[in-house]
């Protein structure tokens, strides 16, 4: 069974959410214009690191969290490019990826025309976006590059067309696509700039994740209840994937769609938050029994992983001889 996190009040000093008064650089701020200075330099996040050829299992990528996030059908987001309303989070995220100048025509068509492929790519992109996955990874057994390692992702590759698994791209290309989405048009690059945007939504969802990750400590101070923090979204496996996804969407809606007033925070479509609606909804702590039910790899996925491991070894031997 799930047990709710303790609802004790945060001891952190409460700041008015709308004013965005500057936090010092040592308190999590970044230099103005440091758009690409993401949480990849933040010590709070740990990159996924495995030996070459080892698969990234569901628990490694937090598949259940990603699925709960990208399969959510709540239509409350606005497309920042064309102003069209009533989109899901996955729709505006994938659309921003597709509009990136770094997305090829083939990839753009795949993102917009094949929903499953688009969702799979978006899941991996969010891991890069939030800093959990760095640019040393690739997902094709035949690819070899200096300092690059190969890792199959069975939960995202097993059930797709076996001739089309390269749709995932590799991490450097995904990072390039994400950066393109932030640089192709003027976008805020700091939290203060974001809060000063007069229009809603204030930016696209990819740029928002980069900003919030860069200012993670400040965002934690504003919207989290101790002992939890921003990186628990992707790092804390002791709380349920579903509750983390709902709280993540709550935060996305706040920064993209609301004026950050108490009235709108309380009316957040992803739930009534803690501390009178001013903080994210409570994470739900998992019992040991329920923890075992999350991110369970299937037999077909294990078989796929073994085939890809052997394929990597075969490709390596071929390249040597």
Judge whether 26 lies within some domain. Answer: no
* Phi/psi-derived region of residue 273, left when phi > 0, alpha when psi is between -120 and 50, beta in every other case: beta
The label of the residue with tokens 């969010």 reads 126
| Helices and strands in the chain, H and E counts | 16, 4
Alpha helices in the chain (DSSP H): 58-61, 63-70, 89-99, 105-113, 115-130, 154-157, 171-183, 191-195, 205-214, 216-223, 232-235, 241-257, 262-266, 274-277, 288-291, 299-320
Judge whether 308 lies within some domain. Answer: no
Report helix, strand or coil for 284. strand
Given a cut of 70, is residue 28 above it in pLDDT? no
> What's residue 47's pLDDT?
87
Instruction: Tell me how far apart the alpha carbons of residues 145 and 150 are, in angstroms, rounded to a whole number.
Output: 10
The label of the residue with tokens 């349920």 reads 240
Q: For the CA atoms of the chain, what is the radius of gyration?
A: 20
Judge whether 213 lies within some domain. Answer: yes
Tokens of 124: 């991996």
Given a cut of 50, is residue 5 above it in pLDDT? no
pLDDT digits (tens, 9 = 90+) for 87-133: 999 999 999 999 999 999 999 999 999 999 999 999 999 999 999 99
Pairing of strands 149-150, 137-138: parallel
pLDDT digits (tens, 9 = 90+) for 218-259: 999 999 999 999 999 999 999 999 999 999 999 999 999 999
Alpha helices in 3-140 (DSSP H): 58-61, 63-70, 89-99, 105-113, 115-130
Cβ-based burial of 305 (10 A; exposed 0-12, middle 13-18, buried ≥19):
buried
Judge whether 95 lies within some domain. Answer: yes
- Percentage of the chain exceeding pLDDT 70: 80
Judge whether 25 lies within some domain. Answer: no
> What's residue 304's pLDDT?
92
> What's residue 204's pLDDT?
98
Judge whether 121 lies within some domain. Answer: yes
> What's residue 109's pLDDT?
92
Judge whether 42 lies within some domain. Answer: no
At 49, phi and psi to the nearest 5?
A: -130, 120
Range of the domain at 66: 58-298
Judge whether 202 lies within some domain. Answer: yes
At 152, phi and psi to the nearest 5?
A: -70, 150
Instruction: Tell me how far apart the alpha carbons of residues 41 and 37 are, in angstroms, rounded to a whole number.
Output: 7
Query: Count of domains in the chain?
Result: 1
């Amino acid at each position: 069974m799930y047990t709710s996190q303790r609802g004790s009040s945060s001891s952190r000093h409460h700041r008015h959410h709308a004013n965005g008064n500057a936090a010092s650089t040592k308190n999590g701020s970044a230099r103005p214009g440091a758009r690409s200075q993401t949480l990849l330099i933040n010590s709070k996040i740990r990159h996924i690191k495995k030996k070459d050829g080892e698969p990234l299992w569901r628990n490694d990528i937090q598949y259940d969290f990603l699925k709960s996030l990208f399969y959510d059908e709540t239509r409350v987001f606005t497309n920042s490019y064309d102003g069209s309303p009533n989109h899901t989070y996955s729709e505006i995220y994938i659309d921003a990826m597709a509009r990136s100048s770094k997305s090829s025509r083939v990839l753009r068509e795949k993102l917009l025309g094949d929903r499953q492929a688009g969702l799979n790519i978006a899941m991996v992109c969010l891991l890069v976006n939030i800093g959990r996955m760095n640019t040393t990874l690739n997902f094709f057994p035949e690819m070899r590059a200096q300092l690059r390692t190969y890792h199959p992702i069975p939960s995202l590759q097993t059930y797709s067309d076996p001739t089309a698994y390269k749709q995932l791209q590799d991490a450097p290309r995904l990072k390039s696509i994400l950066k393109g989405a932030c640089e192709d048009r003027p976008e805020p690059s700091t939290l203060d700039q974001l809060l000063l945007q007069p229009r809603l939504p204030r930016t696209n969802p990819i740029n928002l994740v980069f900003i919030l990750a860069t200012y993670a400590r400040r965002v934690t101070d504003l919207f989290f209840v101790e002992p939890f923090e921003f990186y628990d979204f992707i790092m804390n496996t002791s709380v349920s994937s579903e509750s983390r996804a709902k709280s993540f969407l709550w935060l996305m809606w706040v920064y993209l769609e609301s004026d950050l007033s108490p009235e709108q925070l309380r009316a957040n479509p992803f739930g009534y938050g803690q501390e009178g609606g001013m903080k994210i909804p409570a994470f739900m702590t998992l019992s040991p029994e329920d923890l075992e039910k999350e991110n369970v790899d299937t037999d077909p996925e294990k078989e796929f992983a073994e085939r890809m491991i052997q394929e990597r070894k075969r490709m390596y031997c071929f390249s040597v001889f």
